[in-house]
A and B are shown apart, each in its own frame.
Chain A
Amino acid sequence: MRYESPTTIKEVVGLLKKERGKAFVLAGGTDLLVGMKLGMIEPDLLVDIKHIPAMRTVKTSKTGFRIGAAVSCAELGEHKAMKKAWPGVVEAANLIGSDQVQGRCTVVGNLCNASPAADSVPALIAAGAKAVIVGADGRRTIAVENIATGPGKTCLKKGEVIEAITLPNQTKTSGDAYLRFTPRTEMDIAVVGVGINLTLEKGLVSKARVVLGAVAPTAITVPEAAEALIGTKVDKKALENLAAACSAACRPIDDKRGSAEYRTRIAGVMAVRAAKIAFKRAGSAA
């Protein structure tokens, strides 16, 4: 196995493209190293992207935020502007693993690991995040929801790497939230995760994005759940409809972490709780 730590994105693409064996990008390594220790992943090449300055920073601009692929979730948690604009995204990133894990792990890693239960992914999708992909043929930008194609699978082609995640500016009357259910408080994998992003107009929900994790092969956007909220003050009836729409959208598996029935029901419970937080945030920001 070779280990490379290039300092430019161009070198990364070159190394990945050229490698004939199994090549892996190493950011925080909180999934990759665990897999290697268990003998489940046996790479021929590891390309460490932590030595590329642009990948280590969160940039703010007029259009929004750009989170470098090697920014740790702990660093994201300390970024004041991000926390203010996208508290749900930051909370999701800071639910991954534990404090120690967050010191290493990244949202891009979380996305590329393509676990259906990834915490940061539903929050990113709800926020309208995009991924900037670099490959030998140049750059392309696609919506985060199009990255994972199934458990452990992404749409990235050989030699491609995600350079950054971009998020728009949050409007003043918007708010996002992410909640998940786990039996433990930390070091656990979501049984259900819910990311919600709401925008208000005159006190009523005008736009909504509701995204569920861990209830289908990939995180899923639920338009019916958004519809349940739009035009409402997130009242009791709207929340009931939201819960029903979320549960109806679930296509989970039965496994050691939760039965399909349980996941389906808890998706509704968590969605209601997350919607209340997002609504409050959207209102208090106004």
Chain B
Amino acid sequence: MAHDQSYKDRKFEVVGNRFKRPDGVEKVTGKARYGADTFAPGQLVGRILRSPHAHAKIKKINTAKAEKLPGVKAIITSKDLPDLTNGDIGLQNILENCMARGRALYDGHAVAAVAAVDEQTARKALKLIEVEYKVLPHVTDVDEAMKPDAPLLHDWIFTSGVDPKPTKPSNIAGRTEMGNGDVEAGFKDADVIVEKSFKTGQTHQGYIEPHACLASVNPDGSAELWVTTQGHFSFRNTCAALLGLDFAALKTTSSEIGGGFGGKTHVWGEPVALALSRKANRPVKLVMNRDEVFRATGPTSSTSIDVKIGAKKNGTITAASAELRYQGGAFPGPWAMLGCMTGFACYDIKNMKAVGWDVVVNRPKSTAYRAPSAPMAAFAIESTMDMVAKEIGMDSVDFRLKNVAREGTRAPYGPIYGPIGIEPTLEAVRDHPHMKAKLKKNQARGVACGFWFNIGGQTCTDLNIGTDGTVNLTVGTVDVGGARASLAMIAAEELGVPYDRVRVNIGDSASLGHNDTTEGSRGTFSSGMATIFAARDAIDVMKERAAKMWDIPVEDIVWENGVARATGKKHGNLPTLSLKEIAAKSHNTGGPIAGHNEITADGAGNGFASHICDVEVDPETGAARVVRYTVVQDAGKAIHLDYVEGQFQGAAAQGIGWALNEEYIYGEDGRLQNAGFLDYRIPVCSDLPFIDTKILEIPNPNHPYGIRGVGETSIVPPLAAVSNAIANAVGVRMTQVPMSPQRVLAALDDLDNAS
């Protein structure tokens, strides 16, 4: 059934409040079942043997000794995962990333795996597997990898997007260019031009729950996978394709998820667990340790970015250009392209050009991390924006407002913006009391903006009404950030029942049609839309049932505030029929009452945020500490206020960690030196101030409630907000992230030496 997805202004009863989370009790009492929390009869323990080398040819793998160890039930190598990808390069890369095929491409790359009766035996078996390596030269730095004489990762990468196509392979997978106008002419018109180069370190999503799954494959080709994931449908499809299973035969269930932030949009050990189970003919549980999570699962790119911005003295930007180099780990990705698309998206710039270079290096395969690629581009560009504002003597917020993108502005990646929130967020920042708050010694304030697309995508949802009048909503988008509470509110709003009448369940891959992964801040936007439509379907059914109960035409019935009401003089005396009353009689009026919706949810509204950051810098140690922080972001329509604020706060916290201390540190040998939370420093509670939030609501015209995704955007501004604050505090412009104490102190020294 076709439904109207356009926004309609309305008064909400349930939406826009703060209700108790439906998953709260189970989580705080430890009963919630995460990836490692399920068990199958006869299950084995799976463990993976990983390369200690950054780059090596695998000459020989001898598993004979390990196989003889009592308790070992299966050992696999790439031979047990034959290539069924039919030339699909994306799938081939996933397959090779799951298990090295002749070459180890990074420290931590899987080379073999074991299934054994217990953990100790599995570990012992790993030590008995003999791998003969020929160590090859490696490269882990994005700029080094682009050099003509850099060690080559793949002989099949010929840079795309350059004309003529190269005849020699390189580590540069692709070049992207986008923009508008004539930047050369624009720079000629500028009164002031600032050019700067920046680098950002590689960060990991840092989810607390490691990757974990329980896989069981039967000899008849049927299989089950229980897994912590952001998208069990895409996991099913990928795993089934790699193992040669039918999609319908691989029932995949998503567990509770202990954080994903993009890192659980991609399969890592799951195909290995399935292959082990297939070989052992027993269920296999595979749980990574933290070391494996860091070494072998999706961090985001490290980058190297050059920015040039020119402006008139009145603040008008005449031209802006950027060259962005992103490494995707050992396999090509779209990361630099995403940097190009997002970097200048907050502004209306007449002449703009962004060139991106996607590069491969000997590091783990990159994957999405919350607004993937946008924070690095924003770090470089928003830092440069502040430098230009300073050069022309303009307030940095006013300078941004002078060039701000509005409805009708063409986005850097093509489309014309609809109603967007960047200008309102900047105005809210300008007028916020935080901006006038006094600062202490060694403290200063910085501001920065951020953009994220947000996406919609394929969604399939069921709504079932029980005979007691309670409601089960089954969705296929994994709840990574409070979607169950928000969707229950939306269903309750539509049906006109209290929030606690609705229970939301995440359906497994066998119980719903395909749902795209929960990524791109799509969960509440897309499943929210599908929920509204499924509820409206159910209301139509209930109106038909009421018509039967009253024996009047259905056209004479309206649904209002949770009840069916007969309209017109003829039926004026009929009392209303509530959802509960209609449900109680459903067995006599046509059976169960349900609503269903399948949709490709188009029209996700862009997300924009502006942040205010106060830092205090210790000039003797270089340590910078965030002492006050405010997030202003457009939510379109905030469904559950706590969760929306929580997303803003969580995103800002991750951005601050990235800005100050988080970074993959590789040794000369190409091995990761800090594969643990002790030395990969995500912020702890006491490192952060309370992060204040302000929700703006500029309705998305393409959603019945006006919803925009809110999960990602606010990780984009913090890197530059912190950097701009540091620059204002101690007068040094940090060009490398993280801005660790050591780096800030070195920059302060350089400043002293220069003056």
Contact = CB atoms under 8 A, between A and B. Distances in A.
Contacts, number: 47
B742 A262 contact: yes
B686 A183 contact: no
Interface string B660-686: 110001000000011001110101101
Given A37-B289, A38-B291, A269-B621, A183 B741 contact: yes
B506 interface: no
A154 interface: no
B684 A186 contact: yes
A189 B742 contact: no
Contacts of B678: 187-189
A132 B745 CA distance: 42
Interface stretch (A104-112, A144-152, A170-178, A252-260): A252-260
A262 B686 CA distance: 24
B621 A181 contact: yes
A138 interface: no
A39 interface: yes
A265 B741 CA distance: 12
A157 interface: no
A38 B677 contact: no
Given A256-B679, A259-B742, A266 B686 contact: no
Contact of B745 (A38, A255, A262): A262
B673 to A, nearest CB: 5
A184 B684 contact: yes
A141 interface: no
Nearest to A188: B681
Interface string A29-44: 0000000011100000
A98 interface: yes
B155 interface: no
Interface string A153-192: 0000000000000000000000000000101111111000
A252 to B, nearest CB: 13
Interface residues of B, number: 23
Contacts of B687: 184-186
A193 to B, nearest CB: 14
B742 A258 contact: yes
B740 to A, nearest CB: 6
A261 to B, nearest CB: 9
A142 B590 CA distance: 88
A202 to B, nearest CB: 31
Contacts of A187: 677-678, 684
A39 B684 CA distance: 26
B163 interface: no
Interface string B734-748: 000000111001000
A265 B660 CA distance: 20
Interface in A30-76: 37-39
B742 A184 contact: no
A185 B745 CA distance: 18
Interface string A239-269: 0000000000000000111110010011001
Interface string B683-723: 11011000000000000000000000000000000000000
Number of chain A interface residues as a range: 20 to 34
A96 B265 CA distance: 36
A185 B660 contact: no
B623 interface: yes
A98 B684 contact: yes
Contacts of A257: 679
A251 to B, nearest CB: 18
Contacts of B431: none
Nearest to B665: A256
B434 interface: no
A98 to B, nearest CB: 7
B677 A184 contact: no
Chain B CB within 10 Å — which of A37, A183, A257 has the most? A183
A91 to B, nearest CB: 15
A189 B661 CA distance: 14
A265 B744 CA distance: 14
A184 B661 contact: yes
A183 B684 contact: no
B615 to A, nearest CB: 14
B665 A184 contact: no
Contacts of A265: 745
Contact of A256 (B623, B660, B673, B684): B673
B745 A183 contact: no
Given A98-B684, A185-B686, A185-B687, A38 B289 contact: yes
A183 B674 contact: no
A69 to B, nearest CB: 24
A241 B677 CA distance: 37
A264 B443 CA distance: 26
A184 B683 contact: yes
A188 B741 CA distance: 14
A146 to B, nearest CB: 28
Contacts of A269: 620-621
B291 A256 contact: no
A246 to B, nearest CB: 13
Contacts of B410: none
Nearest to A187: B684
Given A39-B123, A259-B742, A186 B674 contact: no
Contacts of B289: 37-38
A99 B688 CA distance: 17
B291 A183 contact: no
Contacts of B742: 258-259, 262
B544 to A, nearest CB: 58
A148 B683 CA distance: 31
Contacts of A185: 684, 686-687
Contacts of B673: 255-256
Contacts of B684: 98, 184-187
Contacts of A38: 289, 291
Contacts of A183: 623, 660-661, 681, 740-741
Nearest to A263: B742
Contacts of A184: 661, 681, 683-684, 687
Interface in B477-505: none
Interface in B631-679: 660-661, 665, 673-674, 677-679
Contact of B686 (A37, A39, A186): A186
A189 to B, nearest CB: 7
A183 B659 CA distance: 12
B108 to A, nearest CB: 14
A37 B678 CA distance: 15
Chain B CB within 10 Å — which of A37, A257, A258 has the most? A257
Nearest to A181: B621
A257 B665 CA distance: 10
Nearest to A243: B620
Contacts of A39: 123
A189 B674 CA distance: 13
B49 to A, nearest CB: 12
Nearest to B123: A39
Nearest to B622: A262
Nearest to B688: A185
Contacts of B677: 187
A266 B661 contact: no
A146 B328 CA distance: 49
Contacts of B740: 183
Interface in B301-317: none
6 smallest beta-carbon distances between A and B, as pairs = A185-B686, A269-B620, A262-B742, A256-B665, A256-B673, A183-B661
Given A184-B687, A185-B684, A256-B673, 19 more contacts: A98-B684, A181-B623, A183-B660, A183-B661, A183-B681, A183-B740, A185-B686, A185-B687, A186-B686, A186-B687, A187-B678, A188-B681, A189-B678, A189-B679, A256-B674, A256-B679, A258-B742, A259-B742, A262-B745
23 contacts: A37-B289, A98-B684, A181-B621, A181-B623, A183-B661, A183-B681, A183-B740, A184-B661, A184-B681, A185-B684, A185-B686, A185-B687, A186-B686, A187-B684, A188-B678, A189-B679, A255-B673, A257-B679, A258-B742, A259-B742, A266-B621, A269-B620, A269-B621
